[in-house]
Each structure stands twice: as structure tokens, then as C-alpha cells.
Amino acid sequence: MGTRAGNQRSSIFQGNDGRWYGFVTMGIQPDGSVDRRKRSGASRADVVRKVRALERERSDQSALPAGPSPRLETWLTEWLSATALRVRPSTLSGYTVDVHRHINPAIGKHRLDALQPEHIEHLYTALLANGLNAGTVHHVRRTLNKALNDAFRRRRLPGNPVALAHTPRYNPPEIEPLTVDEARRILAAAENEPNGVAFMLAISLGLRRGEVLGLSWADVDLDAGRLQVRRQLERRNWRHGCADLDRCHERPSRCPHRKEGGLVLTELKTKQSRRTLPLPEPLLIALRQHRRRQREARIHAGTLWRDSGLVFTNLVGRPVAPHDHSLHWTAFLERLGIRPARLHDARHTAATLLLVQGVDQRVVMSMFGWTSPAMTTRYQHVVPELVEEANRRMGVLLWGASDHGTG
């Protein structure tokens, strides 16, 4: 005894054991076989309800794939392989650390479709107990959230439990840009510092570290007074290049056939990041002097010179490692007696000085290669000298004189 709906390809019938059974064709599985699912119950009404629920899932394409759900660690490993096709190597490296070092050891054994917010909260608690700071935990959260959002979009999950889990409180460190006086001291001293023009470009044009170190002389037009930001220099992790990984017991960086690592020039991430910037006259003068010094260094190095075509190189023409450049910046500030600041704070300083002086937000976005106006709020800090100048102008407006305490 049973019924069959040909168009919907669902059937309901009573078996010889007295129970009722329903079968629903959901579609085609990845291997090409038919995805036909079974439901059973003690009454026909019970099975009809279950069949109708499956049909609704089929209609709105919300049904999870047939078969057992993979473990979270399996899904994340597959996700990393797929993600490698669309993200930068440096981004993939961060995801890989989060997955294999932090997520999988803590909660990787859970079935993907059984993952609950409480499991995510257990991950956060375990990471904090292991000594990780809240900033690192938030980075792990972002990685897991991206992976599970992809799982949800591919109907491997009914929802993303990360969105429901409580996240540890995190207050990002307050960024304190350089003052106008500090910026002027840096610009004045950088002219006589080896590769000091790189610091000048960061603090006046807001170029990122990798963008500065990735500049080639072909990108700089000293006659027209402009430069193109097209590429960046980054350090990539080495990968094994040997045919038999089981026989190579070295780390990837020591593998005799290592590949795809070291200092690499790469294209910038977004179209907005590729930009052309005018060069103020002091920068033009400093760049011309820097080019003369580089030519002298080339003569002095002789056969040791390796022409990279880059604006900023070491003593034998090779690219400057980003980490070494940051160490140079730190030592440079210390010699000037300026408080410790990150090299990226120079970029914050440039953005701040432009924004608080009233430069149009769209102009600043274009100069800095930003894709969203929201980025300006991260960089717009208040510089003390500009607050003083604003107060002076208010005094002139209200009392008619800049020095109203005399007379």
C-alpha cells in the first residue's frame, strides 16, 4: 500500500513490518549518483510530515549533503587547499597556522554538522589558557568564521555557530601617530640615512612597508615628479620541493629542493592599491641624491652587485628584507631620541595629517589605496599640534586676536 508522486519523485508506503517509509529524490550527488533519502515512522502522517520537510529543503536548496558529515579538521584541511586558489600566500600562511596549530587540536574531532557555539567557546577558553592574547584569539576566530561561512554557503552546515558564540573581549592597542615635530625631525635626518628616503616616502605619502621596498626605478619618474605603486615586496614561507617528502626530514626552509619562498615581488591585492602619486619637490631632491648614492655603491661593490632594479637595496643590490627594514627604523628613531613607534605608524601619521587638515576623504582614499571609506576612521587620529592650532583659530574667531592674554 503506498502513494507515489512522479513529478516530485517521492514515495510513501507501508512495509511488511507495519512501519511506514518515505523516499525523496533530492538531486544528484557529486559523484553523479542519485541522492535519494529515506525516512520512516510508526504512522503514515508521521512519514508524510518528514517527506514534506525534505521536499521543502530540496525546493529552497537548504538540505545538507547526504552521508555522514566530515570532521571539522577534515573540512578545514580541504578548505585551506581550496582557499589557496584565491588568497595571497601570506594570508594563506596565517590561515594555516590558525587551523593546524590552534583550531584542529582543540575542536577538530567534532563532526562539522554537529558543531555548537559551546564548542567554539571551548576553543577560545583553551587558547587563552595556553597563553595566547586576545588579539591572536580574534585572528583565529576570523579564520574559523570564514571557513564555516563557506561551509554554510555550500550547504554543509545549517548555520554558522561562530556567530552565536561569545567572543573574548578585545581592545586593540591605541595607535598613537607621530607628532608634527617628530615627523619633521625624521624627514630632516632621513636625508643622510642609508635608505632613509624609504622612511620619507612612508611618512609623507603613506606608503606601506612592502610597497616602499617593492618600488623599482621604472616606477619612479623623476622628470614628471611622480611614482607608481604597482608591486610590493614580501617574504614567503618556503615549501618542500623534493619528490619524496617521507625521505626529507628537513624543515621546508632547509629542504635541498625548497621552492616558492624567500623575498618575492608580488602584485598588489586590489585595483585601488595600484595608484600613481605626485612627488613633492623635497622628495624629488632626496630621490635624486639617493640614486647617485646607489650608483656609487654599485661601483664600490663591483662584481658582487646584483642588479634588482629596485629603489631600495642592500650594499650589493639585493632587496631589503622587510624585517630588517623595520629594525633599521627602530634603531633610527632611537638615535634621534624619538619614542618607539612602529614603521606602520608612519602611514597612520600621513593619513592623520591629511584628514585633520580637511583634505577630502576621497582624495585620501585614492592616495592610500583604500577600498572603503570606513578605513579613514581607523587612521584619523588627533595630533596635539593641530589641536593647539584649532584652539588658536577659535581664539582669533571669538576674541579677535591670537594672543588675547596680553594688553
Is the CB of residue 239 less than 8 Å from the CB of residue 252? yes
Instruction: Return the ∠ at Cα 215 (arms to 91 and 85), rounded to 5°.
Output: 25
Q: For strand 226-229 and strand 275-278, is the pairing parallel, antiparallel, or unpaired?
A: antiparallel
Query: What is the pTM (predicted TM-score) of this model?
Result: 0.69
The grid cell for 208 is: 606601506
Number of H helices, E strands in the chain: 15, 9
Q: What is the mean pLDDT of residues 160-184?
A: 87
Question: How far is residue 266's CA from residue 121's CA, in Å, rounded to a whole number?
Answer: 37
SS3 371: coil
Which of these CATH numbers, 3.20.20.70, 1.10.10.60, 1.10.150.130, 3.50.50.60, describes 72-164?
1.10.150.130
- At residue 13, what are phi and psi to the nearest 5 degrees? -155, 165
pLDDT band for position 57 (50/70/90)?
confident
For residue range 307-322, what is the model confidence (pLDDT) as tens digits?
Answer: 999 999 999 999 999 9
pLDDT the model gives residue 4? 43
| CA gap 326, 323 in Å, rounded | 5
Burial of 148 (0-12, 13-18, 19+ CB in 10 A): buried
Other Cβ atoms closer than 10 A to 94 = 15
Hey, where are the domains in the chain?
2-59, 72-164, 180-353
pLDDT at res. 245: 56
Backbone conformation region of residue 9, classed left if phi is above 0, alpha if psi is from -120 to 50, else beta: left
CA angle 183, 226, 344 (to 5 degrees): 35
Residue 242 has pLDDT above 90, yes or no: no
Pick the CATH number of 180-353 from 3.40.50.970, 3.40.50.300, 3.40.50.1220, 1.10.443.10: 1.10.443.10
Q: Distance between CA atoms of 296 and 305, rounded to whole angstroms? A: 11
d(CA 295, CA 277): 25
Q: Which of 89, 101, 110 is nearest to 132 (CA)?
A: 101
Residues with Cβ within 8 Å of residue 303, at least 6 apart in sequence:
none
pLDDT at 84: 87
Q: Give yes or no for a contact between 108 and 120, defined as CB atoms under 8 angstroms apart.
A: no
pLDDT digits (tens, 9 = 90+) for 343-394: 988 888 888 877 777 777 777 777 787 777 766 666 656 556 666 666 677 6
Q: What per-residue confidence (pLDDT) applies to 405?
A: 47
Q: According to the per-residue pLDDT averaged within each range, which of 19-28, 48-57, 199-208, 351-360 is highest?
A: 199-208
| Helix or strand (DSSP H, E) at 388 | helix 384-399
